[in-house]
Structure 1
């Protein structure tokens, strides 16, 4: 892809550094690798308990290898079942990340999203994972992230001190301790995105304590490190672009888009269209991000006509006008400067790097671009420059997560409900298939088709919500595999998909 036109080695290195810096800065403004928004909204106040919940702190070992040592506070909130005589138990929610707190999100779900059948029969529970909300280590991460943002320090020392106690293995043990504290013999859990890593790990670690687990928009249960995850994301972006731009009907669009991107990622860092309008690298990355943006943001529809005009007729003027009119030419991030967003980014790095099972050396990270490009010639360089170095130089102790495999026998026939989007830009559908394969005969799968989004249950997609509710109420009755065609549903007013940017799983840092 790189036709550099730069003859000496020093010049090539300077070009690559400047390109990498520009991509990183632009992605901060455009919402993360490949358009998947990675900057959390300050949607849920962490300073107080939601009015519809009762909150408390649970004491947990800082280090589960030393259970009688130092204890830390884990914040949780409970909304009691409305029909206590027919109460089934607690339903613990996690909204992903790893960055999102859950107490405020659970309060929102009680108020806005969960059906009466669930509210009647379950205590709805949110637990702020370590590093979020009011739980342990959130303040330390906030302090170091703010200092780093202000160029007054960094998080290296903080990571060495707390990252070993932030990983997914530890949070799963917190979940089990909370289950026991709430008086439930077995766990009922709904996890979105990164929450599916927690749910699947819980099933792996405590299979005998599983009642019902919903894994909505799954992460890969097999990925060994950050690069493997991000290469998977890269292939997913390619799939979304092909769907949105209808390559099957208009194959020339794929060729033109590749030509535009090759020019943007060349030494000129620009593309001049047939009408004389020039697309800068900054503009191009915005367009690439918006091509795979989630539906509920509504951003794709603001530039689709202009992009199709560029790809069909090589005219860029209307696209540049749409970028400018809708504010996409600004390099400012919507959320990245808030303290909570800085904390969320710091936690994201801490958990992802702590969880790595097969970490790559710094040299291997530098040489990994070919893996990204093999996944997508269109998005490969973009995601490589923005994501490959997340764990570069990581020196804190890791707590590697196991691969979740062969779960059917361990679960003894218990059913796990897996929900995935065919065109999910954050957790590609191949990960849903991997998760289903890991659970084998225990897996029941719902696929959402013709809809570019992430996090599907209890977001007004009727066929998903009905199946999820039925499963949570009765996990022993097998859920028939189904494809929910979201485009067909949206044409029927009684099943209209109402984009809801307030859903706690829709807008968090990470997965």
Structure 2
């Protein structure tokens, strides 16, 4: 999960600063710390609003969330607007609102996580703030801010984990929602992090079969079988590959973007055919060296986001597992995929291991009967939020909904990201008129 958070920060955040534009307003909102205990006081949330340029034809408030969990929103939204990622019609007709969720950006609880992040010793801090930065509380924050801005309804655009917020908002406040776009969704139905991650091996395999031939995959399976049998696989140039190193190799197949993959693939194919590992190691080191040139501020942001991820995911659980159940879950992953089971297990199993803090569990939601049309965008080759999640979300909504499937792109987060013009067209059309997409065209 940590690699995913870093990846999302690199893609969605960059190092942008809030642009100086007369239509931008930086804002601070003070919201209840705990909506079940209003005497607990208020906390600060950092926000930005970009006012609609066409005031006469203004539609309303468009709320953005970029996921993570642990992803900020203000800088990302500012960058998208200044770089004209949004169609002009959206900028003209919506007040675009981005709120840094609790524990992100410049909002409350960031300092608690920042103090420990570089040393990667955030267990106590994660547990102390987890209850206060839950998905439930931030969803309630959005509606509290809606009321403070005197808006009857909001339109919501969420990416990745942000789609959980959109699903929860449409469940809790259906009367206050004009439309919801769920881009690269993950279902709100899951009771814990392990349960949520069970579809990951399927998505990893789909990306692998897209990028490699059957004969190349057979060579990878052969290495996997040797490691399973002997714990170590020795290459012809005498490199020792254990399960951890093999997982890193698999990661490069499924997590790199298309440009990086085109650089890595020749070295990987050469290794598979010759069983000589040196050239492949050199190529990976080149990429890692390039990545290490990121600014220290971005590194800190990624570390804070990683700590926030664990805090939110564990606080959200409504079906917590015993430590013994978490530690013994490897076989469940490996039943899904003998190749990628271990990789998925390592990414998630220890997220809530030893968690003792108070939780703020998500409500159990299996069906949402919503009269507001819902637009769902899922990628067949999305290895961050698997396509199975988009199908699950589609089935959860009993009312009007439309699932747009993106094929043949290894990516995550599709609308207004330069990845698919058709998705941009459908999303723009939906935001301007949510009823327009319920025609199955």
TM-score > 0.5, shorter chain as reference? yes
- Aligned twin of 2:135: 168
Residue number in structure 2 paired with 1:258? 221
Distance, in Å, in 1 between the alignment partners of 2:44 and 2:185 is: 28
Aligned equivalent of 1:220, options 173, 182, 187: 187
Q: Is the CA contact 2:18–2:79 (under 8 Å) kept in the aligned structure 1?
A: no
Q: How many residues align?
A: 433
> Secondary structure of the equivalent of 1:343?
helix
Q: Deviations over 1:17-61 (max 9, x none)?
A: xxxxxxxxxx97xx359xx94665794569x74423211111101
Deviation, 1:360, is 0.8
- 1:417 corresponds in structure 2 to 375
1:232 paired to 2:199: yes
| 2:241 paired with 1:269 | no
In structure 2, C-alpha distance between the alignment counterparts of 1:77 and 1:39, rounded to whole Å: 18
Q: 2:55 aligns with which of 84, 93, 97?
A: 84
Question: Is the contact between residue 260 and residue 271 of structure 1 (CA under 8 Å) also seen in structure 2?
Answer: no
Q: Which residue of 2 aligns with 1:123?
A: 95
Contact 1:42 1:340 in 2 (8 A): no
Q: Determine the structure 2 residue equivalent to 1:11.
A: none
In structure 2, the residue matched to 1:473 is: 432
Change (3 A) 1:304 1:479: farther
Alpha-carbon distance between aligned partners in 2 of 1:429 and 1:393, rounded to the nearest angstrom: 31
Secondary structure at 1:232's aligned position in 2?
Answer: helix
Assess, with a 3 A threshold, how the Cα gap between structure 1 residues 42 and 125 changes in structure 2: closer, same or farther. closer
State whether structure 2 residue 246 is matched by structure 1 residue 288: no
In the other structure, the counterpart of 2:20 is: 51
Q: Any idea what the Cα deviations from partners look like across 1:361-406, whole Å, max 9, x if unmatched?
A: 1100111001110111101112223421110000111111123332
- Ranked by relative contact order (alpha carbons within 8 Å, sequence separation 6 or more), the top structure is 1
- Specify the alignment match of 2:322 in structure 1: 361
Residue of structure 1 equivalent to 2:38: 67
Deviation string, structure 1 residues 123-152 (Cα, Å, up to 9, x no partner): 111100000011110111111323x43xxx
Alignment of 1:29-428 (within 5 A): 31=3, 37=7, 40=10, 43=13, 49-52=18-21, 53-112=24-83, 113-146=85-118, 148-149=119-120, 154-246=121-213, 250=214, 252-264=215-227, 267-272=230-235, 276=237, 278=239, 280-281=241-242, 284-295=246-257, 298-311=259-272, 314-317=273-276, 320-327=278-285, 334=292, 338-408=299-369, 411-412=370-371, 414-428=372-386
The DSSP-based 3-state class of the residue aligned with 1:464 is helix
- Cα shift readout 1:406-437 (whole Å, capped 9, x = no counterpart): 213xx23x100000100101000000000000
CA positional deviation for 1:179: 1.7
TM-score (norm 1): 0.79
CA-to-aligned-CA distance 1:285-318 (integer Å, 9 cap, x gap): 332111112435x22112223333444xx3133x
Asked if the contact 1:263/1:271 (under 8 Å) is kept, the reply is: no
SS at match of 2:279: helix
1:180, 1:287 → 2: CA distance?
Answer: 49
Name structure 1 gaps, 5 residues minimum: 1-26, 483-511
CA distance in 2 between partners of 1:39 and 1:124 (Å): 20
User: In 1, distance between residues paired with 2:187 and 2:59?
Assistant: 30
**8 Å contact from structure 2 (residues 126, 310) kept in 1:** no
Correspondent of 1:436 among 370, 385, 394: 394
Contact 1:91–1:123 (Cα < 8 Å) also in 2: yes
- Local SS of the residue matching 2:203: helix
Greater shift, 261-270 or 86-95, is seen at: 261-270
Point out where structure 2 has 5 or more consecutive residues left out of the alignment: none
Segment of structure 1 superposing worse, 156-165 or 335-344: 335-344
In the alignment, the residues of structure 1 paired with residue 13 and residue 88 of structure 2 have an alpha-carbon distance, to the nearest angstrom, of 24
- Structure with the largest fraction of helix: 2
Give the equivalent residue in structure 2 for 1:18: none
Q: Distance in 2 between matches of 1:330 and 1:267?
A: 29
* CA–CA separation in structure 2 for the residues paired with 1:279 and 1:301: 25
Cα 1:287–1:227, aligned 2, differ >3 Å: closer, same or farther?
Answer: same
Where 1:78 maps in the other structure, the secondary structure is strand
RMSD: 2.6
Q: Answer yes or no: is the 8 Å Cα contact 2:155–2:177 preserved in 1.
A: yes
Partner Cα separation in structure 2 for residue 385 and residue 406 of structure 1: 31
TM-score between both structures, scaled by the size of structure 2: 0.90
Give 1:332 deviation, angstroms: 10
CA distance 1:231–1:406, shift in 2 (3 Å): closer
Contact kept? 1:302, 1:322, Cα under 8 Å: no
* Correspondence for 1:463: 422
CA distance in 1, matches of 2:248, 2:205: 15
Distance 1:301 1:320, change over 3 A: farther
